[in-house]
Amino acid sequence: MFNFFRKNKVRVRIAPSPTGYLHIGTARTALFNLLFAKKMGGKFILRIEDTDLERSEKRFEEDIIQSLKWLGLDWDEGPYRQSERLDIYEKYLIKLLKDKKAYYCKCRKEDLEKERELQTKLGEPLKYSGKCADQNISPDQASLIRFKINAAQVVFKDLIRGEINFDSALIGDIAIAKNLRTPLYNFAVVIDDYEMKISHVIRGEDHIANTPKQILLQQALGFPEPKYAHLPLILDPDRSKMSKRFSATSIQEYREQGYLPEALVNFMALLGWHPSDDKEKMDIDEITIKFEIDRIQKGGAVFDVKKLDWLNSEYLRGEDNAILLKSIKELYGKELGGLNDEVLFKMLTVGKARISKLRDFLDLKASFDLLEYSLDLLIWKDTDKKIILENLKKSREILRTVLNTKFNKEDLEKELMPMADTRGRGAVLWPLRAALSGKDKSPGPFELMDVLGKDETLKRIELAIQKLEFGGKN
**Structural domain contains residue 54:** no
DSSP string, 201-267: EEEEGGGGGGHHHHHHHHHHHTPPPPEEEEEPPEE-TTSSBP-TTTTTSBHHHHHHHT--HHHHHHH
Instruction: Please check whether residues 352 and 435 belong to one and the same domain.
Output: no
**Catalytic one among 91, 244, 406, 414?**
244
Are the C-beta atoms of residues 439 and 367 closer than 8 Å to each other? Answer: yes
Which of 193-197, 292-296, 365-369 has the least mean pLDDT? Answer: 365-369
- Among 4, 82, 8, residue whose Cα is nearest residue 45: 82
Give the residue from 360, 393, 414 where a domain finishes: 360
* Per-residue pLDDT tens over the stretch 217-249: 999 999 999 999 999 999 988 888 776 555 557
**Structural domain contains residue 428:** yes
* Per-residue pLDDT tens over the stretch 38-49: 999 999 999 999
Q: Has 197 been annotated as catalytic?
A: no
Host domain of residue 268: 251-360
The number of distinct structural domains making up the chain is: 2
Instruction: Please check whether residues 352 and 379 belong to one and the same domain.
Output: no
Instruction: Please check whether residues 352 and 380 belong to one and the same domain.
Output: no
CATH of the domain at 425: 1.10.10.350
Instruction: Please check whether residues 305 and 337 belong to one and the same domain.
Output: yes
Are the C-beta atoms of residues 18 and 40 closer than 8 Å to each other? Answer: no
**Structural domain contains residue 429:** yes
Instruction: Please check whether residues 393 and 447 belong to one and the same domain.
Output: yes
Instruction: Please check whether residues 350 and 379 belong to one and the same domain.
Output: no
**Structural domain contains residue 322:** yes
**Structural domain contains residue 343:** yes
**Structural domain contains residue 175:** no
* Per-residue pLDDT tens over the stretch 272-315: 999 999 999 999 999 999 999 999 999 999 999 999 999 999 99
pLDDT > 70 fraction of the chain, expressed in percent and rounded: 96
Instruction: Please check whether residues 354 and 433 belong to one and the same domain.
Output: no
pTM, whole model, 2 decimals?
A: 0.88
**Structural domain contains residue 289:** yes
**Structural domain contains residue 44:** no
Instruction: Please check whether residues 391 and 353 belong to one and the same domain.
Output: no
